[in-house]
Structure 1
Amino acid sequence: MKARAFLPVLFFGLVTVSCRKPDEVEISETRVLTTLDEEPAVNATSSEQFLPPEVLSQIQASGQSLDGSEAAAGSSAWIYLLPAADWKEADKAPMREVNLTFGDGEQAGEVYLSVSGGGLQPNVDRWYRQFGADTQPIAELGRLEFLGKQGYLVEATGRYEPGMGRPGKDGQALLGAIVEDQGRLVTVKMIGPEADVQARREQFVKFVASLARK
């Protein structure tokens, strides 16, 4: 009998608590909505999600497609912004996932992207050796935006010895970018006549910043 008398009282107490109205709160401040407040774009491409806004707007304004059909003709894995009219798509080549040229004629230079293994320092050391230059520790290199991270910038000038049976050239320059991404090293190298490479330094940095995986 005591249990029967107790249960209705407990139930009544639960109902009473659940029916209480929440306290009223006065709004005293407002703020601008950010992307964190927006509904997620379920069908957004990787470019729309990860490219810097200024790069994304430039690609859209130039008429290049975000799926890579125009922005990265000849590359099945990457999209990017070509920063100047004399940057051209080149034929596919072994070990190069993106292959471009800049300039004209015999003085044309090359820009290419590769994905490989190994360590950061050994790769950077090899680049310096190709120019007969003293290597520099990774920690002392310049930085640049690369795949949403801080990549390392390598610069060298002099006689370029590419190896693999290719002849060397005097008066050349290198701008190289390297970053670790998804367990691999992604590298971009610009090589060509010293004056031409140095004149395109800003273009190189802009190109590297625009790179994104499809």
Structure 2
Amino acid sequence: MLPELSPMPEVIPMKFAPMRPLSILLASACLFAVPTIVVGDETATAEPATDAKSETINVFDSGTLVVPAEFKRAPKANNIIEHEFQASAGEGEEAETARLTMMPASGGVKANIDRWIGQFSGSDRKTVGPKETQSGGWTVHVVEVSGQYATRMGGGPFAGGRMVRNDGYAMLGAILVEPEGDSPRRRQYFVKMIGPESVIKANGESFKKMVTSVGQ
């Protein structure tokens, strides 16, 4: 007689969680990952600073002056002036500045340049020029003067006012004469920069490049 066999234990089927897609698992891992802090190395790229731009001035609809970005717009001292800018040497509130003015004018070239030179005096007065250059049909006359500068305060350029004398000043002046045939009479445009001699020297090349851009 065969021995009685014990009954087989009941097999209980195991339940497995459904497998998740790999992309979901990776996303979960990213959510709980500890961020790594890098010291001394910036991964973000800073936006580039916007550079100051030059300005273009229309002259009699016959030419244009390209005013460099370092010359900043300033309030006009009077209505005779068409455009006014400020030039500086150095940075900050303590930096010295010079006035840069632009306006249509009349009269002979030599007479006006002689008048500008006459605004300077003193034993240290120096004059360079005038020098004449051509720019696309325009005739550009440039003169440099330094010394003691005399000007009237509160009366305008052709009116009375208190006379003020400034030592160690300089001026770069340009008379731009438009090309022949652009008008019945060749009109003139004045561009002058006046201020401490150090400021004029620091901005001299930019000034000369600007006034000769009129016919380019």
Separation (CA, whole Å) in 2 of partners of 1:207 and 1:112: 13
5 Å matches for 1:123-162? 123-132=112-121, 141-145=130-134, 148-162=137-151
Structure 2 residue aligned with 1:190: 193
Q: 1:110 aligns with which of 99, 102, 107?
A: 99
Structure 1 alignment gaps of length 5 or more: 1-60, 65-69
User: Cα RMSD over matched residues?
Assistant: 3.4
Q: Is 1:89 matched up with 2:73? A: yes
* Structure number with higher strand proportion: 2
Q: 2:169 aligns with which of 172, 186, 205?
A: 172
Separation (CA, whole Å) in 1 of partners of 2:120 and 2:93: 23
Separation (CA, whole Å) in 1 of partners of 2:200 and 2:174: 14
Query: How far is the alpha carbon of 1:63 from its aligned partner?
Result: 6.2
TM-score w.r.t. the length of structure 2 is 0.54
Query: How far is the alpha carbon of 1:84 from its aligned partner?
Result: 4.2
Look at both structures and tell me which one has the larger radius of gyration over its CA atoms: 2
Query: How far is the alpha carbon of 1:80 from its aligned partner?
Result: 3.3
Deviates more, 1:177-186 or 1:124-133: 177-186
Structure 2 alignment gaps of length 5 or more: 1-50, 156-160
- Aligned residue type for 1:173: A
The answer to whether the Cα contact below 8 Å between 1:154 and 1:175 also exists between their aligned partners in 2 is yes
Deviates more, 1:141-150 or 1:105-114: 141-150
TM-score w.r.t. the length of structure 1 is 0.55
Separation (CA, whole Å) in 1 of partners of 2:168 and 2:136: 31
Q: Secondary structure at the match of 1:114?
A: strand
Q: Secondary structure at the match of 1:81?
A: strand
The answer to whether the Cα contact below 8 Å between 2:106 and 2:188 also exists between their aligned partners in 1 is yes
The answer to whether the Cα contact below 8 Å between 1:151 and 1:179 also exists between their aligned partners in 2 is yes
* Structure number with higher helix proportion: 1
The answer to whether the Cα contact below 8 Å between 2:64 and 2:214 also exists between their aligned partners in 1 is yes
Q: Secondary structure at the match of 1:118?
A: coil
| Residues 84 and 62 of structure 1: CA distance in aligned 2, closer, same or farther (over 3 Å) | closer
- Count how many residue pairs are aligned between Structure 1 and Structure 2: 142
Q: List per-residue Cα deviations over 1:108-155 (Å, max 9, x = no partner).
A: 10111121111111111110110027898xxx6212455742311111
5 Å matches for 1:26-41? none
